[in-house]
Structure 1
Amino acid sequence: MDTKYYWTDEDNGVVTVGLTADGQNELGNITFASLPRVGASLTTKDTLLNVEADKAVSDIPSPVAGKVIAINDKAANDPSVLNKRDKADSWIAKIQK
């Protein structure tokens, strides 16, 4: 998936990652999501998120290397929150660089 499909916000070395509107449109309605586990170390070649959606099944690579320090528990329990436009609801993970 192209980098235009996810957004990143960095604060003091912690990067929050989520899907942009373009990414959400490309995938369609997300019905399943496999998020990384807290404590996992990721490189930019590793999968951050695996999703099943109306239009595609995709492995989304991590845009940043580091350690996963938090995941969106709401998304883990209800993947449809990743379809929302509000970043406060639809973020995927927080990664410490």
Structure 2
Amino acid sequence: MMDTNYYWTKEDANGVVTVGLTQAGQSELGNITFVSLPKVNAKLTTHDTLLNVEADKAVSDIDSPIDGTVVEVNKAAEDNPSLLNEADQSKSWIAKIQK
């Protein structure tokens, strides 16, 4: 399980929380080579795995930071997992979760 300082969250006015990896999380993992994202409409609690990541330095399960329902995933990151290493949060987000 990764430490909470390894991912960022940003909540919009409708209670939808976008989750992504921080630079600390990116450097802990190294270059990401494979990612398994959650399914849209999946119901998650903070005990559930949000995503599974394979990277140069580690294979990690990252737990959901919140309880809610997945409303969107970063499809581009499924095809190109290295996007999760980007500093630009508009590219490196993982999923959007409705609280």
TM-score by length of structure 2 reads: 0.97
1:49 aligns with 2:61: no
The SS at the match of 2:24 is helix
Deviation at 1:76, TM superposition (A): 1.2
User: Is residue 34 of structure 1 aligned with residue 48 of structure 2?
Assistant: no
The amino acid across from 2:79 in the alignment is N
**1:7 to 2:5 alignment:** no
- 1:83 aligns with 85
Give ranges in structure 2 of 5+ residues lacking alignment.
none
In the alignment, what sits opposite 1:25? 27
What TM-score do you get using the length of structure 1 for normalisation? 0.99
Partner of 2:71: 69
Identity of aligned residues (%): 71
Alignment coverage as a number of residue pairs: 97
Q: 2: distance between equivalents of 1:74 and 1:61?
A: 21
- In the alignment, the residues of structure 2 paired with residue 8 and residue 31 of structure 1 have an alpha-carbon distance, to the nearest angstrom, of 22
DSSP 3-state at the match of 2:5: helix
Q: 1:63 is paired with a residue of what secondary structure? A: coil
What CA deviation, in whole Å up to 9, does each residue of 1:44-77 have, x standing for no partner? 0000010000000000000011000000010011
SS in 2 for 1:55: coil
Any stretches of 5+ residues in structure 1 without a counterpart? none
Runs (4 or more) in structure 1 with deviation over 2 Å come to none
